Amino acid sequence: MTTRQQRNIGLTALLLLALGFIAALVASNTLLRGMRIDLTENNLYTISPGTRRVLQSIDEPINLYYFFSDRETADIPFLRTYSTRVREMLEEFVAQSDGRLILQIIDPLPFSEDEDRATQFGLEPVNLGSLGESIFFGLAGSNSVGGEQTIGFFQPDKEAFLEYDLARLVYSLANPDKPVVGLLAGVSMTAGFDSQLQRVTEPWVITTQAQQLFDIRNLTPGQTDVDPEIDILWIVHPQNLAPSMLYAIDQFVLRGGRAFIFVDPFAEIDIANADPTGMAMGSSSDLAQLFNAWGIDFSADEVVADNRLALSVSGGFGARPVRHLGLLGLTAESMDAEDVVTSGLTSVNLGTAGYFSRRDDAEIALVPLLVSSNEAAALPASQFQFLADPSSLLDEFAPTGQTYVLAARVEGPLRTAFPDGPPQPESETTDAAPPPAQLMSTEAANIILIGDVDVLSDRLWVQAQRFLGQQIVTPFANNGDFIVNALDNLAGSAELIGIRARASFSRPFTTVDELRREADAQFRQTEQQLQAQLDETEARLGDLQEARTDQGSLLMSPEQQAEIQRFLGEQVRIRSELRAVRRNLDSSIEQLGTRLRIINIGLVPLLLSIAALAVALVRRRRLGVRR
């Protein structure tokens, strides 16, 4: 075979290889269209099964408008990185919705029609100060009946709940009707009439806020059933409920209903049992029959006192404030940061709250939402009756060292509290046979328990006043956010409620952080050694000064001079060690970076080249054997 023939064969082979490559690309784009593989460690791009079911339940198309000021954030890398994360999550939602979600990505330039469009949706630009101009970074959605939902600004610190926020927006657009909440309250939360003061009473602020978001329907303790239209049962301070009402609650929950329950060992807000002197005695509430069947214990006669979280109250005219162990100001450390109900909250105030615990034989899981500190103890509720001096609670107060669950989410299967069937009616009102009793829950429970009723009252979280006929409210705690978050979470589908916090998109340099922690520990140890030697030298100098016979002389003795010179030498040595620790830290980090560069730039290509050469040698040997 001539050289020209060999060249022609080589060119023909290259041409066929190029054509095969193009054909493979076309075939992969056609046959593998829509296929995605998530290779991230925490499956950041794999949406949860609950979100997938929410997307598949959409009946009519939903339009999503993602507004991000791309040009205005050119110099803000952390925000651009997170915007990519949001966009990719939205694209994954669209890919899983089978065409039911329609996404538009919009860069609203200043003074443009897109900026006006974002403003019409209710989105407002955020001024980032010296980092750049005001920018848009939000999402708006609309459905076929004109309903709209928005996320005003995607906060990077809430990245763990990005999937939940997006799924909640989609679910709200797919289900535009307001959720129905049945309110069964043992205290006056709505507008009413005070017979003692002969005046109309204002509704609590939390009730007013809830009425703006939900369809609130009042229930009475004497009812024998729960309306099937009710999505959430909001039970506040239940007292002396009829057995028929308890049975209705039991069956509602077992059939998949959601419940938001407030009980209290000492509800100060309940002034129905007021003392003749005008001092509220407070009252207790419990759902012992239901709780016992569910495997839950509640401290109906004990109040959690906390020495670390205690709030200060006025001690009277001219007196300084005193700490009240029963009034608790919970901080973020006392809240579950991974639950959407409490994530992002900074303060929740409670008043004389009780605690929950799970029985050993219970089938449910009790997931804490709010907990006390470890400087707490359970005190008898009777100590808070007619309490004139809150400081007296500190007398002989002994913390137990354990934390108490003040609010919790109940998950798992439930058993009925009426295994023998419904209670006998007090009077025969109908001949219709009751529906068969539900003995076990049809699905996992969706219940949130709060061991305090006063958390709802205005005095613990908001200041309300009238101005020109309008009510102006100024919150000083997150009680309202906590309640609305819980109602909003329970109002979603079971799939939406099941979505939990996801891992963060950002990946910290754990090895570098560990190196820094080790170097800081060595640095502190050496620094403490220097300080100890300094203290020792000062003490030695003082002893030498006291031992001198010429106390009036300003000149140092030879012993003092020698001691100072010794210390100065030690100081130079230890400071040199401190610098060496810092240099070793920098060198360790640089060596780590060098090793990674060698692996990424040199080792990986070398291994690929060796593999390619090995394949070529094997093929050549096989050709030689065939010839």
> Could you tell me if 482 and 462 lie in one domain?
yes
Distance CA 183, CA 332 (A): 29
Any idea which of 2-11, 48-57, 451-460, 532-541 has the lowest mean pLDDT?
532-541
Beta bridge partners of 303: 379
Record the pTM.
Answer: 0.67
Residue 60 pLDDT more than 60? yes
Residues 487, 526, single domain; the answer is: no
Given this model, what pLDDT does residue 541 score? 61
Q: Are residues 390 and 516 in the same domain?
A: no
How far is it, in rounded angstroms, from Cα 135 to Cα 307? 45
Q: Could you give the count of Cα atoms lying within 13 Å of 407 in the half-sphere of its Cβ?
A: 25
What torsion do the CA atoms of 387, 392, 396, 401 make, to the nearest 10 degrees? Answer: 70
Q: Determine the Cα–Cα distance for residues 258 and 516; give it in Å rounded to an integer.
A: 48
Q: Single out the residue in 173, 192, 215 at which a domain terminates.
A: 173
Q: What is the mean pLDDT of residues 343-361?
A: 93
Q: Are 368 and 408 in contact (CB under 8 A)?
A: yes
322-331 and 310-313: which strand pairing?
A: antiparallel
Q: Do 63 and 94 touch, CB atoms closer than 8 A?
A: no
Quick one: pLDDT at residue 488?
Answer: 87
Do 618 and 595 reside in the same domain of the chain? yes
In a domain, 429, yes or no: no
Alpha-carbon torsion (345, 349, 350, 355), positive or negative: positive
Write the pLDDT tens digit of every residue in 299-338.
999 999 999 999 988 766 666 788 899 999 999 999 998 8
Residue 426 within a domain: no
In a domain, 303, yes or no: yes
Q: What angle do CA 254, 260, 265 make, to 5 degrees?
A: 110
At 289 the pLDDT is 95
Q: Are residues 223 and 286 in the same domain?
A: yes
Q: Does 570 share its domain with 519?
A: yes
Confidence of residue 274 (pLDDT cuts 50, 70, 90): very low
- Checking if the pLDDT of 275 tops 50, the result is no
* Exposure string for 467-481, b = 16+ CB within 10 A, e = fewer: eeeeeeeeeebbbbb
> Does any domain span residue 403?
yes
Tell me the CATH number at 356: 3.40.50
pLDDT at 377: 96
Question: Final residue of a domain: which of 133, 153, 173?
Answer: 173
Same-domain pairing of 412 and 530: no
Residue 301 lies in a domain: yes
Over residues 82-95, mean pLDDT: 91
Residue 356 resides in a domain: yes
Q: Mean pLDDT for the chain?
A: 80
Range 345-359 average pLDDT: 94
Q: For residue 553, tell me if it sits in a domain.
A: no
Q: Does 116 lie in the same domain as 85? A: yes
Q: Domain range holding 99?
A: 49-173
Q: Same structural domain for residues 328 and 474?
A: yes
Say if 555 falls within a structural domain.
no
**Per-residue confidence at 276, pLDDT binned at 50, 70, 90?**
very low
Where is pLDDT greater, at 224 or 590?
224
Q: State whether 273 and 336 are in the same domain.
A: yes
Strand, coil or helix: 394: helix
We report the CATH number of the domain holding residue 109 as 3.40.30.10
Q: Please give the pLDDT value at position 278.
A: 42
Count of domains observed in the chain: 4
In eight-state DSSP terms, residue 600 is: I
Domain identity same for 277 and 348: yes
Same domain membership, residue 161 and residue 227: no
